[in-house]
Structure formats: structure tokens, C-alpha cells
Amino acid sequence: MLKSELIELIKEMEDDSNIDEVILGQGFAKPIDLEGFKDLLANNQEIKGYHTSLLDSAVSKGVESFKKNKMPKYIEEEIKKKSNEGKTPEQIELEELKNTIANMQKEKARAELSSKYIKILGKKKLPTELIDFILNDDETVIDNNITKFETLFNTYVDNGIKSRIGDNTYTPPKGQTVKSMTKQELLAKGVIFASQFQQDNPEEYKLIMNS
């Protein structure tokens, strides 16, 4: 399109008019079609490179999505097919039923163990949240885990008491109880410390809490 042709075409238009539609309507510029796009890809290296980059990115995302969302399912189905080769539908159904029952029994047993040992943790004044860390199919292992945590917590409490009271604490006359800390200081140390302190020093604990 010549400059003179463009000037002649738009000379009667208002200053704020949009000239795009006029140019397109006169056939001076045409929207790109499929053939035009193919021609750009063939002859324009910059556009070709950008298009290739977009395709590579889309393919990579598609592959990752397939690996994450669909491939595990396909693998599981193929393994299941292989394991069911030579079995009748009745045998397959019976085996699946047995597996379902076994899983239900396992979940029930774990729930019963959880309930049992939550009570034991409570009696030992240990946090019941520890249940997720101590549970095991073998109760001997559970008992050992509880012992380890109990030792750990008792050591922590003992060290806390020693660091707070110190080795040079005044020893009151026999039959006389004094406070080694205020009520606010005791409560600030947490429930576990306070509970252990109550067991070890019942008279002092009572004196502190009533102050």
C-alpha cells in the first residue's frame, strides 16, 4: 500500500476515528489465515523458534501430568491383570473380598491399640499426641517407645527443676515448706513441668498454687 493511497483513504475521516477497520475493509491488510501462519513458520526464524518453544513446553507439561496423574493407575491396573491371570471371576472376587476384610481387621486392630495406649500415655502424664510416634503392630515395640519418651521427658523435667532451683537452694528446717518460685513462674514452665513438680514436691506445689 502506497502512502498516497493511505492518505487519500483517510483524509475525510475524523481525527479520533479508528482507521484499522477502514484499512482491513479495503483489503490493504488481511487477518492471517492458516496458510499465512504456515508461511511465517517456514520463513521467519524468530516466530518459528517461539512456536517451537511453546510446543516443547506444552509437551513437557503433558508428559509430567501423565506421569503424575495417570501412569500410576495404568501400572497398578497392569499389575492387577498379571496377578489375576488364570483365575476365574469368582476367584478374583473372593480374593478381593479377603483383602478388604484383612484391611478392615488391620484398621480395627490399630484403632484398638491407639485407644489402649492413649490411656496409658495419660496415666503416665505424657502428651497423648505421642500416639502417632509410638504405635506399631508389635506391642513390645510400643512399650519400648513409651519407655524412651518417658525417660526423655523425665530427664527434661529434672533438668528444668535443677536449673530453676539450683544446687545452693536454702533447705528449710524439717517440717517447714518454702516456695522456690511464684505461681506465675511455675505455670509459665508448662503443664508437664508443673505436673512433675506436683508429684515431687506436693507441699510446695500446694503452697505455690494457693499463693
Dump pLDDT digits (tens) for 45-92: 776 777 688 788 877 888 888 778 887 887 877 777 777 777 788 887
**DSSP conformational letter for 124:** T
Domain that holds residue 201: 179-211
Predicted confidence at residue 176, as pLDDT, reads 47
pLDDT tens by residue, 141-183: 999 999 998 888 888 777 766 666 555 444 554 554 556 788 8
Whether residue 188 is contained in a domain is answered as yes
In a domain, 137, yes or no: no
Q: Is 68 within a domain?
A: no
pLDDT score at 87: 78
| Angle formed at CA 72 by CA 55 and CA 74, multiple of 5 degrees | 90
Number of domains in the chain: 1
Instruction: Please give the Cα distance from 17 to 31 (Å, whole number).
Output: 20
For cell 544446687, the residue is 167
CA 186 – CA 195 distance, rounded (Å): 10
29 within a domain of the structure (yes/no): no
6: pLDDT strictly greater than 90:
no
Question: pTM for the full model?
Answer: 0.36
Is the residue at 72 inside a domain? no
192 belongs to a structural domain = yes
Predicted local distance difference test score (pLDDT) of residue 1: 52
